[in-house]
């Protein structure tokens, strides 16, 4: 009888276009050799042109999904993405406070197209209820400003941003510098250690799902037993290949290629 692989739970929104959200998370987990499970918090109508609408699930539906998976199957790591509203952020945080697996929080605020995916009044719940539970939090530069008010305009601002996010209590902060005007640089920081991850900027506009994919990759590598710095390094390698392989889909921004290693 085969042995079950490590299990990773994603708690996020569904992307009907398949490039981000729950769909990207599960594809990433499969590609990295873990068993992915899902708790759907919201359903989006979404394609390559943007998000046409989203509908939250009732808190009791989210709670039931989490309890069902965690009480029977368990998880070696958990990743959160789009949580949409204050009540869902607080519901998820309360349930995860009783679970001691590593938690990767992707504080999703907007889609790749600029569509809002988090109610304005839910930002404080992310800060106070969810971030203190996080093993790693992975904000991009817009999300840093939303959470802290710190505006990152150059690589020199990354440490100030990381310190501001760290104040909310996560063990590690990964500031994603993909939107820097210069070469993209990410900073991983735990209050003392600093790790910089630099990469070239790829000439490919098809980058839908990068944030979801990176956070899910980190959770997968943590479930496989890597340390946080090693998990981030391995995940950066994976997302770089996925971005290079991003392909056109529909009339707008296509997704990264979660299966790029299989296509080489």
Which stretches within the chain are classed as H helix? 21-31, 59-72, 86-96, 123-125, 141-148, 158-166, 210-223, 228-244, 260-263
Q: Which residues are catalytic?
A: 176, 207, 209-212
Task: State how far the Cα of 71 lies from the Cα of 223, in Å rounded to an integer.
Answer: 18
> Among 200, 207, 203, 27, which residue's Cα sits nearest to residue 113?
207
DSSP for 25-77, please give it.
HHHHHHHTT-EEEEEEEEEEEEETTEEEEEEEPPHHHHHHHHHHHHHHT--SE
Q: Are 140 and 105 in contact (CB under 8 A)?
A: no
């Amino acid at each position: 009888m085969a042995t079950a692989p490590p299990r990773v739970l994603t708690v996020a929104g569904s992307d009907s276009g398949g490039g981000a959200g729950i769909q990207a998370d599960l594809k990433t987990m499969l590609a990295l050799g873990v068993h992915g499970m899902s708790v759907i918090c919201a359903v989006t109508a979404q394609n390559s042109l943007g998000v046409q609408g989203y509908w939250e699930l009732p808190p009791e539906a989210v709670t039931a999904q989490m309890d069902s998976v965690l009480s029977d199957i368990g998880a070696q790591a958990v990743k959160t993405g789009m949580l949409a509203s204050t009540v869902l952020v607080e519901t998820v945080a309360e349930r995860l406070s009783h679970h001691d697996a590593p938690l990767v929080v992707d504080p999703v605020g907007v889609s790749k197209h600029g569509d809002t995916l988090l109610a304005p009044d839910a930002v404080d719940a992310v800060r106070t209820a969810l971030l203190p539970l996080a093993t790693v939090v992975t904000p991009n530069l817009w999300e840093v400003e939303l959470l802290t008010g710190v505006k990152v305009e150059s690589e020199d601002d990354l440490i100030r941003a990381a310190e501001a996010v760290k104040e909310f209590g996560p063990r590690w902060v990964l500031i994603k510098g993909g939107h820097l005007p210069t070469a993209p640089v990410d900073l991983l920081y735990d209050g003392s250690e600093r790790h910089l991850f630099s990469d070239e900027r790829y000439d490919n506009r098809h980058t839908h799902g990068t944030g979801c994919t990176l956070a899910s990759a980190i959770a997968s590598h943590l479930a496989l037993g890597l340390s946080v710095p090693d998990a981030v390094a391995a995940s950066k390698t994976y997302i770089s290949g996925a971005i290079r392989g991003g392909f056109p889909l529909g009339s707008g921004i296509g997704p990264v290629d979660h299966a790029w290693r299989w296509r080489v």
